[in-house]
Amino acid sequence: MNLRRRYLRDRVMQGLVYLGTLAVLLPLFFILYYVFVQGIGALDLAFFTRPPAPPGEGGGGMLPAIVGSLVVDLIALALAAVFGVAAGVLLAEYPDHPLNPFLHLVSDVMAGLPAILMGLVAFVLVVKPMGHFSGLSGAVALALIMVPIITRATEGVLKLIPWEITEAGLALGLPRWRVILSLVLPAARGGILTGLMLALARGAGEAAPLLFTAFGNPFLTLNPLEPMDTLPLKLYVYAISPYEDWHRQAWGAALLLAAAIMVANYLARRATRS
């Protein structure tokens, strides 16, 4: 094979790599462009302050969905944080605990499971016994998605905390639990916060597990025991509806969601750095 042919191949492959990269980046620009251009017009005052108008009437807004998203996502995050951080602490601070091999396996496997399955589980475990759909059941489904993310992040960052900190605390005569709570966890605050933000960003965009748990609700409610709307749910319903004005609002919801998730990701990155 002569040199010219080798260089030809080098150039051709370089061209293909550039082309492949473009094939990834162009649609991305396309999507972001559409979300921004179509969405920005929909984000008026009514969008944030009004409940939905009846089908086909036009006007109205997303207030119940915005509030519902906040309530459901925050309950989910609180639930997932308690279990996730504890599991991370066990993995990192009690490395010889017999539960750990299972915990490792479970958090790896859970992270790879389809989100909609979490909805099915929450339906069977929460909706069925309660007898009706509820924001709480949606939060349980989302929490199941968030837990492995938080567990991994917590374990990862705790393992980076120098052992000297623990030793120093123990040398001062502090009991183990005080050392973990007052020294190790605060030192790992940034990393744990990153895990929480990433989990929130992931959960906040999910609609599939909420279809038959939170279900949706056109009326504003703060009670998580009632059905609740969330932004992704509303976006889905509006997107597949036949009404022009709902399509407009769906783009608005898409922009709001995308922006919120970008902010959460940005905060996650920043928390790691500090």
Partner 1 sequence: MPGWLYRRLGDRLFSALVVGLALGVVLAALAIVWVLYQGGREALHTFGFLGFLTGSRWDAVRGEFGAWPPLLGTLLTSAAALFLAFFPALSAALFVVEFAPRALKGAVAYLIDLLAALPSVVYGLWGIFVLVPLVRERVELPLFTWAAAHAPGLLAFLGPPTGIGMLSAILVLALMIVPYASALARDALALVPQSQREAMYALGATRWEVIRRVVIPYARAGIFSGVVLALARALGETMAVTMLIGNSVNLPYTLFGPAATMASLIANEFTEAEDDLHLSALIAVGFVLLLIALATNLVAAWVLRRMSLGEGRK
Partner 2 sequence: MEGRYRMETQRLSVYYGKHHGVRGVSLPVHDRKITALIGPSGCGKTTFLRALNRMHDLNPIVRVEGRVLLDGEDVYAPEVDPVVVRRRVGMVFQRPTPFPTMSIFENVVAGLRLVGVRDRKRLMEAAERALRMAALWDEVKDRLHQPAVGLSGGQQQRLSIARALAVEPEVLLMDEPTSALDPISTQAIEDLLATLKDEVTIVIVTHNMQQAARVSDYTAFFLDGELVEFDRTEKIFTNPKDPRTEAYITGRFG
Q: Under rule CB under 8 A, which residues in 169-188 are in contact with partner 2?
A: none
Helices (H) and strands (E) in the chain, counts: 13, 0
Partner touching 178 among partner 1, partner 2, none, CB below 5 to 8 Å by kind: partner 1
| Shorter beta-carbon distance to partner 2: residue 1 or 24 | 1
- Determine the Cα–Cα distance for residues 4 and 7; give it in Å rounded to an integer: 5
CB of 10 to partner 2, least distance (A): 9
Which residues have a Cβ under 8 Å from the Cβ of 143 and sit 6 or more positions away? 75, 76, 77, 79, 80, 83, 203
- Determine the Cα–Cα distance for residues 59 and 61; give it in Å rounded to an integer: 7
CB of 29 to partner 2, least distance (A): 27
| Shorter beta-carbon distance to partner 1: residue 120 or 187 | 120
Q: How many positions of this chain bind partner 2 (CB under 8 A)?
A: 3
Partner touching 112 among partner 1, partner 2, none, CB below 5 to 8 Å by kind: partner 1
Partner touching 1 among partner 2, partner 1, none, CB below 5 to 8 Å by kind: partner 2
Tokens of 177: 């639990």
| Shorter beta-carbon distance to partner 1: residue 46 or 261 | 261
CB of 85 to partner 2, least distance (A): 38
| HSE of 111, CA atoms in CB hemisphere, 13 A | 16
Partner touching 189 among partner 1, partner 2, none, CB below 5 to 8 Å by kind: none
Q: Under rule CB under 8 A, which residues in 1-40 are in contact with partner 2?
A: 1, 3, 6
Partner touching 210 among partner 1, partner 2, none, CB below 5 to 8 Å by kind: none
Q: Do 211 and 184 touch, CB atoms closer than 8 A?
A: no
- Determine the Cα–Cα distance for residues 65 and 69; give it in Å rounded to an integer: 6
Other C-beta atoms closer than 10 Å to the C-beta of 42 total 21
Note the residues at the interface with partner 2 (CB under 8 A).
1, 3, 6
